[in-house]
Structure 1
Amino acid sequence: MNHLMYAVLAGCGAAVAIGLLSFMDANLADVALLMAPFGATTVLVFGLPDSPLAQPKNVIFGHLLTAAIGVFFTQYVGVSAMTLAIATGAGVSAMLMTKTTHPPAGANPILIMLSGQSWGFLFTPVLVGAVMIVVVGRCMKLLQQRFIAA
Structure 2
Amino acid sequence: MGDYLGFFHELRAYLGIERNNTSHREKLISALGAALAIACVFWATQRALSAGLIDISTSFFIIASMGASAVLLFAVPHGALSQPWALVGGHLISALIGVICHKLIAHQTLAAGVAVGSAVAAMYYLRCIHPPGGATALTAVTGGDAVYQLGFNFLLVPIFTNVLLILLVAVLFNSLFSWRRYPVHLGRRAKPVVTAEPSDRETEITQEDFAAAIQEQDSFVDITAEGLTELLELAKQHAERNVVHPKEIIAGRCYSNGKLGRLWSVRQVVDESMEPPPVQDRVIYKVLAGDGSYDTGICLRDDFRRWARFEVTLRNGHWVKSAESIDEEHPD
TM-score, normalized by length of structure 1? 0.89
Higher relative contact order (CA 8 A, sep 6+): 1
Aligned to 2:84: 56
Aligned to 1:11: 31
Q: Report the Cα offset of residue 146 of structure 1.
A: 7.5
Task: Among all aligned residue pairs of Structure 1 and Structure 2, give the percentage whose two residues are the same amino acid.
Answer: 27
Aligned to 1:97: 125
* Pairing 1:124–2:157 present: yes
* Pairing 1:86–2:114 present: yes
In structure 2, distance between residues paired with 1:119 and 1:47: 31
Change (3 A) 1:113 1:79: farther
Decide which structure has the larger Cα Rg and report it. 2
| Structure with greater helix percent | 1
Give the one of 42, 45, 49 matched to 1:25: 45
C-alpha contact (below 8 Å) 1:79/1:114 kept by paired residues: no
In structure 1, distance between residues paired with 2:174 and 2:43: 22
Q: Report the Cα offset of residue 79 of structure 1.
A: 4.4
Matched letter for residue 172 of structure 2: C
| Structure with greater strand percent | 2
Count of aligned pairs between the two proteins: 146
Structure 2 residues not aligned, in runs of 5+? 1-21, 50-54, 181-332
Q: Deviations over 1:12-37 (max 9, x none)?
A: 11111110111123333234541100
Q: Report the Cα offset of residue 76 of structure 1.
A: 3.0
Query: Please, which moves more after superposition, 30-39 or 97-106?
Result: 30-39
In structure 1, distance between residues paired with 2:166 and 2:47: 18
Q: Deviations over 1:77-97 (max 9, x none)?
A: 334211211111000000001
Q: Deviations over 1:94-143 (max 9, x none)?
A: 00010000001111121111124311111111111112111111112110
C-alpha contact (below 8 Å) 2:102/2:111 kept by paired residues: no
Give matches, 1:103-114, under 5 Å.
Answer: 103-114=131-142
Aligned Cα root-mean-square deviation (Å): 1.8
Change (3 A) 1:77 1:7: same
Residue aligned with 2:77, SS? coil
Residue aligned with 1:12, SS? helix
Residue aligned with 2:177, SS? helix
Residue aligned with 1:102, SS? coil
Give the one of 63, 72, 80 matched to 1:35: 63
Matched letter for residue 96 of structure 2: A
Aligned to 1:143: 176
